[in-house]
Structure 1
Amino acid sequence: MCGRMTMTHPNDAMARLFEAAPSNDLPPVPRYNICPTHPVAVVTAGQGGRRLRPMRWGFVPQWYKTPTDGPLLINARAETIAEKPAFRAAVRARRCLVPATGFYEWTKDDAGNRLPWYFVPKDRAPLVFAGIWQDWTKGDQPMTTVAIVTTGASDWMSATHHREPVRLAPTDWARWLGETGEKAAPLMQPAPEGYYDRWRVDARVNSNRAEGAVLVEPLAA
């Protein structure tokens, strides 16, 4: 699963990394507690080339009469994405890259308290998730929305959570975006063992109003 993430890399650096034209209304960075319904910068591809553009995190199917007409779809399961009515058209034609710096997952202690963990690539390179997107046009304010694709966790990740976001290597970006004509389904795999570092962080990140670099600092023993 992926329910919270961070983005601290500058938008102009991300645009250069992906060779994408940046929109003028990208969300400001750094951000240490990106939550569902927040805007995120997403890379799409089309006839005009790649774009780095903002989208609302939380996929809204076209048949929703309002953005809250059904469950908040922040993730799409790789195992069923091609069959689910909400996602099947998007995974064929509207795949995207969701850049991040890291993400959070939670465990629980014996008393049921939620204990947050922060995950980052060991090399601290930008993290890129597989995403799908959808324009929603039913309301007075149309929006473009995105979900992050998840898969079953690796053995290492499963100590924290049974799901993990699909991470894409740089060599896979063009394929996921549909630029190579190759099937993208084989890319929906857990990250290689040893790819991530993780550490406990303070429970203040449990609040969706919390922000700041202190949220990702390792918890003192």
Structure 2
Amino acid sequence: MCGRFLSVSDPELLAERFEVDEVRTEPLPPRWNVAPSLDVYAVIEREDTRRLGTLRWGFVPHWTKRLRGARTPINARLESVATTSMFATSFAKRRCLVPADGFYEWQVREDGSKQPYHLHAPDGAPLALGGVWTVWRDPAEEADEPVFSTAIVTTVASGALADIHERVPLIVPRQLWSDWLTATPEEAPHLEEAVRALAPPTLVAEPISTRVNDVRNEGPELLEPATDG
């Protein structure tokens, strides 16, 4: 799954890396412990224009009556995102890339405790996590601003990553960025096959301090190496 990640790159760097045409957001504060319900950077392509903006992490279905207490899933499974009622329309028409400077997974030890790992690209470059997005408008408040939200797509872990956790966020390789962002509803069902046909990305997995377990903790010290005992 993907329940926490890092977002420390500024919009200018992300705009260059993801070759966006427009930046439609003010800079977010650097975060080493991005948690659900926060705004996150996202890349969307509409009408041949690639844009960097922000989305709320936690997918708000259009049928939601009120936001408070609503079910807002943070992840969508690659195996079912195209068919489940929650995500099917968004997967067909509204996909995005969520830039992340790494993400966290927790490995369950033999004694039942959990060891957090920081997973990131070997060169430290931002990863492109596959996502789906949607728009929700409060039916009780016609004048309210709409809520734009996202869920990060996850897939089955493979290789050494499977020893840490059974699922990981879907990392969309650069050669599929355009397809992920622009595929038509007729083409979208083939995206899963296209992603699986490519070798999974190489990631570095580093055991880190358990400070990251608490969403209230922030800062680069969360990446300090784990210590025995």
**Common fold: TM-score over 0.5:** yes
Q: 1:220 to 1:25 in 2, by over 3 A?
A: same
Match of 2:12 in 1: 12
How far apart, CA to CA, are the structure 1 residues paired with 2:69 and 2:104?
A: 27
In structure 2, what is the Cα distance between the partners aligned to 1:47 and 1:10?
Answer: 25
CA distance in 1: counterparts of 2:94 and 2:69, whole angstroms: 22
Secondary structure of the equivalent of 1:209? coil
Q: What CA RMSD, in Å, does the superposition of the two structures yield over aligned residues?
A: 2.1
Q: 1:113-134 deviations in whole A, cap 9, x for unaligned?
A: 3321110112222211111000
Separation in 2 of the partners of 1:87 and 1:163?
A: 18
Please list every run of 5 or more consecutive structure 1 residues that lacks an aligned counterpart in the other structure.
none
Count of residue pairs brought into register by the alignment: 220
- 1:71 is displaced (CA, Å) by 3.0
Q: Counterpart in 2 of 1:135?
A: 135
DSSP-derived class of the 1:107 partner: strand
Report the alpha carbon displacement of residue 135 of structure 1 after superposing the two structures with TM.
Answer: 0.6
Q: Cα deviations across residues 56-88 of structure 1 (Å, max 9, x unaligned)?
A: 001110011123454331110011111111100
Partner in structure 1 of residue 217 of structure 2: 210
Which 4+ runs in 1 deviate beyond 6 A? none
SS at match of 1:55: strand
Partner residue of 2:90?
90
* Aligned-pair CA distance for 1:18: 1.7
Cα distance change of structure 1 residues 51 and 194 upon mapping to structure 2, 3 Å threshold: closer
Residues 193 and 186 of structure 1, relative CA distance in 2, 3 Å threshold: closer
Structure 2: which 5+ runs fail to align? none
Structure 2 Cα separation of the partners of residues 192 and 64 of structure 1: 38
Secondary structure of 1:64's aligned partner: coil
**Distance (whole Å) between structure 2 residues aligned to residue 185 and residue 168 of structure 1:** 11
TM-score, normalising length from structure 2? Answer: 0.88
1:139-218 equivalence runs, <5 A: 140-178=144-182, 183-189=190-196, 192=199, 195-218=202-225
